[in-house]
Amino acid sequence: MSRVSITVNGTAYERDVEPRRLLVDFVREDVGLTGTNVGCDTSQCGACTVHLDGRAVKSCTVLAVQADGGNVTTIEGLASNGALHAVQEAFREKHGLQCGYCTPGMIMTAVDLLEANPAPSDEEIRQALEGNLCRCTGYENIVRAVHEAAEVAR
Amino acid sequence: MTTAVEAPEKLVGAPVKRVEDARLITGAAKYLDDLTLPGMAHAAVLRSPYAHARITRIDTTKAAAQPGVIAVFTGKDFEHLSPLPCAWQAGGVTNLVNTPRALEIDRVTFTGAGVAVVVAEDRSAAEDALGLIEVDWEPLDVVVNAEEAAEEGAPQLHENAPGNIVMDWSCGDADATDRALGEADVVVRQRLVNQRLIPTPIEPRGAAATYEPSTGEYTVWMTSQAPHVMRLLMTAFVFGIPETKMRCISPQVGGAFGSKIYLYPEYVLMAALAAKVGRPVKWMETRRENYAATTHGRDHITYLEVGAKSDGTITALKAKTYANLGGILSTIAPGIPTTLYGRMLSGAYRIPNIHCQVLGVYTNTGMVDAYRGAGRPEATYVVERAVDLVARELGLDPPEVRRANFIQPDEFPYDPGILNGLEYDTGDYEKTLDRALEIVDYDGFRRKQEEARKQGRYLGIGLSSYVEICGVAPSAWIGVPGEGWGAGLWESANVRVHLTGKVVVTTGSQSHGQGHETTMSQVVADELGVALEDVTVEHSDTLGTPFGYGTYGSRSAAVGTMAVYRSVQRIKEKVRQLAAHMLEADVEDVAFEGGKAFVKGSPETAKTIQEIAGAAAVGYDLPEGMEPFLDDTAYYDPPNCTFPFGTHVAVVEVDAETGEVELERYVAVDDVGRVINPMIVDGQVHGGIAQGVAQAFWEVGIYDEEGQLQTSSLLDYAVPKADFFPPFEVDRTETPTHVNPLGVKGAGETGTIASTAAAVNAVIDALAPLGITHVDMPLTPERVWRAMRTAKSGGGEA
């Protein structure tokens, strides 16, 4: 067991974890935030995407011990003072989700994209999202949602 | 002067934002894996590494001794439980049924079949212990291809199914079709492979269960599209207990596409384990397990013959299809390639002579059952490829061959002769073709294509004018006397208007992304004249919702929502009666509009729905004989299915050097009848297009000759990504159905049903200068490149 200290959505959590413990299991089971989902075991689907020190990572591919001392934001930590993040609002506005399972990861990736590129083109959005699989929407309305969020932010 | 009661804006037909989304965009939604119960143990399943083998010995001693392991069980421990039932045996034929058990006992017929289970304190401990279970296997001969499995001398999977034949089903007139083929000006023959697909909802399956010994009651949570059916099948057919002893709950479900309709061994297993270990037990599927042990879709090999006159009029269509159903049968497997495929082979066309024979075949592969579209994408692929093959053979323009054969608007209701008594309800097929060609600028494209060909570039355009069957029900048609489904397919709903005027709808339908909470609320809010947020829709728990067959086959608008609608109509009638009493008027003189009941001509006397609901609920002063409360339960069994239609167009460019296909444009014009929520319908169409195009170009589930799944994870199975697609161009026509009072047909699968054929037809059109008439899916660069190379060296078809 290793002692780790990881800040999740502004709260510091100290836990003893097995060296093989994945960050996603730390977030879901040790911290109890289940908004982050798991969809594959090969780092393809991106459902588990969170922010680690400000950048989007697939939390199934990061060990908890690697995140020691780090700052994690999950979908539950995206809204501030009760107001949804512009990307969350845009996903609802543009029907960018159906079953919702990929949505937390998709939103976290989109937020990361817009922080790096506030006015992405269609092509840039599609490329940025290529590590996040959605089986419901055909991506069409997700792309529209990201555009919408970018416009609202401008 | 009084003004008329102002009618609030109608919600039906408006792009109302989804009420489901608040919990989904914030991470608050609770999916199966988010469930934690006090004292919960975790299970992991040991799966067969062999596609066909006998189990001669299992030793669980070492695994059971591992730290954290609570218990290990094998199939023998659950011998007292019956095998899972097959609920849809193809109509009119004897199905030779072999189905899964909770765990297989002495023999497996596909890789991934469960043979032992570890229950441990946590998931890692359970998974670690799997490797310590010792199994002695005696491998047997394997066959994975349906056509080969049906040949003489093939390895035999089940003693009760000689030749590996599950069923030999047919529809249509064989003799007349053969005669018509003999008399046709041209006959085109083609072997078509509709490859195996893996549904891949982003949430895999899972289950959790508790057992209360004092009452003998089970509670089972599961990722299911049909919790009521799960309870029925588990209690009545597997456990042999009254259904009142089990509660089934589908929490938030993360996509399904058909793969979560069925009763799976693990659901039974979790319930049984909870009783055995005396603790709640949960199992969550890994993606690799999902690929190995959850159902697959499609997997047909079809021999097609189509006859036509020289003017393009199709006179006969004959199909012989080998349908691979896997090593054992999933819950409704035999019904998919029969009722939902063979009976749809007339497509959107007047085809006077049709015959279809379907051989359902056992092979050493994973179970095959309904996957989005379920039979209709396979049928549409056959019909739409047939039309293009005829056009090519006769040198005619594909849209013109479609026009020449379309069923005309004045011919509805239309009996295609192979639907076992049902009729196509309504349609105006040419309108969708015209609109699609207009959007894509068909003539302009043909000129551009001609220019490009001169430069050695291969551009192509492909059409798919489909019709499909939705709202699958009429119980008398689908049931045992008709198509062989082991029950009816009606739906039910309960509507209650509480004292405060808030409305609660409970439904037997099950939403897993479709947005029923929104669309059903739209219908109810309009009918009762209440605000959308005053309606709550509850579903997916057998405790507290009326029985329903579940959500699949695009049936929750045309069947499930119609039960809600019927219930609301009866509530409205009671509202009028109570309002008449309150207004001291005759019922005949009372109107109920926009949430207000008033004496006709005197809207100033109106009582609101809230006032009336309050009066009904307190019950101080009701008309004589009236029961308190506004509460009604309705059961709805439609008189017919509904038949959405449309035309999809794909535009592609094929790289002359590499064979790579680029999807340049995609245009869809669908007609799903009246639309409750256009935003949601568009979303359904988008997702369907992506899945159907993915079959055409990328996806294939591959077993090698030993029955090992080569596409065993998302590393190897090509689920499309965002950058695979251009923006979709979606439009609609609206031809209501008369089958139900809302005029809705269903929209969940049209995209998948139409798009595969459109995409393939586009590539074949692009390759026309090379004389290529067909390439089997998926049209990967390698396959297209090989086809081009073969054609250039003198061959025709690849």
The pair of three-digit structure tokens given for residue B389, joined into one six-digit string: 């093959």
Do residues B569 and B442 both lie within one domain? no
- Measured CA to CA, the distance from residue B383 to residue B465 in angstroms comes to 9
- Measured CA to CA, the distance from residue B284 to residue B282 in angstroms comes to 7
How confident is the prediction along chain A (154 residues), in pLDDT tens digits per residue? 999 999 999 999 999 999 999 999 999 999 999 999 999 999 999 999 999 999 999 999 999 999 999 999 999 999 998 899 999 999 999 999 999 999 999 999 999 999 999 999 999 999 999 999 999 999 999 999 999 999 998 8
Question: Residue B358's Cα: distance from chain center in Å?
Answer: 20
Do residues B654 and B762 both lie within one domain? yes
- Give B-chain residues touching A39 at CB under 8 angstroms: 202-204, 254, 287
Burial degree of B24 (CB within 10 A; 0-12, 13-18, 19+): buried
- Measured CA to CA, the distance from residue B686 to residue A139 in angstroms comes to 8
Shortest CA distance to B224 belongs to which of B197, B206, B242?
Answer: B206
**Is A95 in contact with B287 (Cβ distance < 8 A)?**
no
Among B586, B612, B636, the domain boundary falls at: B636
**Is A18 in contact with B204 (Cβ distance < 8 A)?**
no
Phi and psi torsions of A60, nearest 5°: -85, -5
Task: Identify from B123, B202, B731 which residue to disrupt to test chain A contact, counting A C-beta atoms within 10 A and taking the largest count.
Answer: B202
B645 in any annotated domain: yes
B311 in any annotated domain: no
- Give B-chain residues touching A125 at CB under 8 angstroms: 722
The verdict on A72 touching B (C-beta cutoff 8 Å) is: no
B319 in any annotated domain: no
Among B597, B616, B636, the domain boundary falls at: B636
The verdict on B719 touching A (C-beta cutoff 8 Å) is: yes
Closest chain B residue to A144 measured between Cα atoms? B727
B754 and B378 Cβ atoms separated by less than 8 Å:
no
Do residues B613 and B688 both lie within one domain? no
Yes or no: domain A2-77 corresponds to CATH 2.60.120.40: no
From the CA of B512, how many Å to the nearest CA of chain A? 6
B651 in any annotated domain: yes
Give the residue-averaged pLDDT of B130-158.
98
Torsion of CA B319, B322, B325, B328, to 10 degrees: 130
Domain that holds residue B734: 406-470+640-798
* CATH label of the domain that carries residue B763: 3.30.365.10
Among B612, B636, B660, the domain boundary falls at: B636
Do residues B672 and B578 both lie within one domain? no
In chain B, % helix, strand, coil (3-state, to 5) comes to: 30, 25, 45
- Measured CA to CA, the distance from residue B774 to residue B760 in angstroms comes to 9
| Cβ neighbours around B443 below 10 Å, total | 10
Question: Residue B577's Cα: distance from chain center in Å?
Answer: 42
Do residues B661 and B784 both lie within one domain? yes
H or E element that contains B41: strand B41-47
State pTM to two decimals.
Answer: 0.97
Do residues B590 and B498 both lie within one domain? yes
pLDDT digits 0-9 by tens, B445-498 = 999 999 999 999 999 999 999 999 999 889 999 999 999 999 999 999 999 999
pLDDT digits 0-9 by tens, B638-664 = 999 999 999 999 999 999 999 999 999
pLDDT digits 0-9 by tens, B456-467 = 999 999 999 999
- What residue ranges do the domains of chain A occupy? 2-77, 86-153
- Measured CA to CA, the distance from residue A8 to residue A2 in angstroms comes to 18
Phi and psi torsions of A91, nearest 5°: -65, -40
The pair of three-digit structure tokens given for residue B199, joined into one six-digit string: 């549904």
Do residues B554 and B428 both lie within one domain? no
**Is A97 in contact with B203 (Cβ distance < 8 A)?**
no
Chain pair A-B, CB pairs under 8 angstroms: 175
Give the count of domains, chain B: 2
B725 and B664 Cβ atoms separated by less than 8 Å:
no
| Residue in B26, B682, B688 closest to A79 by CB | B26
| Helical spans, DSSP H, in B156-226 | 174-183
CATH class of A86-153: mainly alpha
Shortest CA distance to A149 belongs to which of A79, A93, A102, A80?
Answer: A93
Do residues B611 and B659 both lie within one domain? no
Confidence of residue B582 (pLDDT cuts 50, 70, 90): very high
The verdict on A92 touching B (C-beta cutoff 8 Å) is: yes
Closest chain A residue to B24 measured between Cα atoms? A100
The verdict on B288 touching A (C-beta cutoff 8 Å) is: yes
B114 in any annotated domain: no
Do residues B460 and B546 both lie within one domain? no
Do residues B667 and B753 both lie within one domain? yes
pLDDT at B6 > cutoff 80:
no
